[in-house]
Amino acid sequence: MTSQQQGVDLSRDPKYNVNYTGAATDARTNAEQAPLMEDIGRRVGQEVMDQTKQGLQDLGTRMLTEGSKWWEANRKELEGPKPLRIFCFIGGLLMFITSLLGMINPFAAVFNAPNYILQTFLGLFGFVTMILEASNIPFLERLRPHVEEWAKFLTVIGGKGLFYMFQGFLAISLWGLLDVIVGAYMAGLGLLCVAWHFGLVKKISRRQRQQAANDPSASGPGMATQQGTGPGGYAPMPQGGV
């Protein structure tokens, strides 16, 4: 077999020519479709992100709405019992007076500036405590909505308890005799408020479950689907076979 017979010009072979032409056409088509597919993918990804963002926003709105309804329905209870609130008001008054006594000395602002700054904050915290727990004091009661608007956690006894514990431990850190006494008093009240809060939340939740169980309107279509269930919560097997 000669070299001319061994050498084959594939470009003249119709079969290979068709394959080459098809491959070139596919490559050209893929190159043209690549920007289109990229644009479609980008739009689909953006739509998924927008839907996810909207879903999370709706979920957060519903949670805030339900939480606000629950808080409004139980607001008076969540503020704490009146005797405890009186003790907290006294603690805030003592904290305010103690801080004023610590701030009277003008040399303290020069020679012990950190202590003076802490006394200033403690005096402010004591005044806020009096605003939160005031009863039949018009001046302080008028200020309460402003405090509650900017510090929502202070509208429930648990949040107030954490606040009282914080200012109590802060006062103790000053190591003054009056500061330690008043600080220990406030920290103890704060701990009692937090404990009362958890017990109160359990009481409210238990009462709401009992009301839901005793409410005839609770047995709607969703309840009817559970009445005919078999063992394990599954639907009973049909008598006449499948």
Banded model confidence at residue 3, pLDDT cuts 50, 70, 90: very low
Q: Is residue 85 part of a domain?
A: yes
- Under a CB-based contact definition with an 8 Å cutoff, are residues 62 and 142 in contact? no
**Mean pLDDT of all residues in 132-159:** 89
- Higher per-residue pLDDT: 200 or 61: 200
Q: Is residue 148 part of a domain?
A: yes
Comparing 9-18, 21-30, 201-210, 229-238, the range with the smallest average pLDDT is 229-238
Q: Is residue 46 part of a domain?
A: no
Banded model confidence at residue 237, pLDDT cuts 50, 70, 90: very low
Rounded Cα distance, 164 and 187, in Å: 6
- Higher per-residue pLDDT: 196 or 234: 196
pLDDT in tens, 51-67: 787 777 766 666 555 55
pLDDT in tens, 36-45: 777 787 788 7
109 contacts: CB under 8 Å, gap ≥ 6: 103, 116
Rounded Cα distance, 63 and 71, in Å: 12
Q: DSSP for 42-80?
A: HHHHHHHHHHHHHHHHHHHHHHHHHHHHHHHHTHHHHT-
Rounded Cα distance, 171 and 99, in Å: 9
Q: Is residue 136 part of a domain?
A: yes
Q: Is residue 26 part of a domain?
A: no
Top mean pLDDT of 65-69, 147-151, 226-230 is at 147-151
Q: Please state, as a whole number, how many other Cβ atoms lie within 10 Å of the Cβ of residue 132.
A: 25
Q: Is residue 164 part of a domain?
A: yes
- pLDDT for the residue 9: 54
Q: Which pTM does this prediction carry?
A: 0.58
- Under a CB-based contact definition with an 8 Å cutoff, are residues 116 and 109 in contact? yes
- Which helix (H) or strand (E) segment holds residue 143: the answer is helix 138-150
Rounded Cα distance, 128 and 197, in Å: 20
Range of the domain at 161: 80-211
- Which helix (H) or strand (E) segment holds residue 185: the answer is helix 177-214
Q: Please state, as a whole number, how many other Cβ atoms lie within 10 Å of the Cβ of residue 16.
A: 13
**What domain count does the chain have?**
1
Exposure string of 19-57, with b = 16+ CB inside 10 Å and e = fewer, is: eeeeeeeeeeeeeeeeeeeeeeeeeeeeeeeeeeeeeee
Q: Is residue 37 part of a domain?
A: no
Q: Is residue 2 part of a domain?
A: no
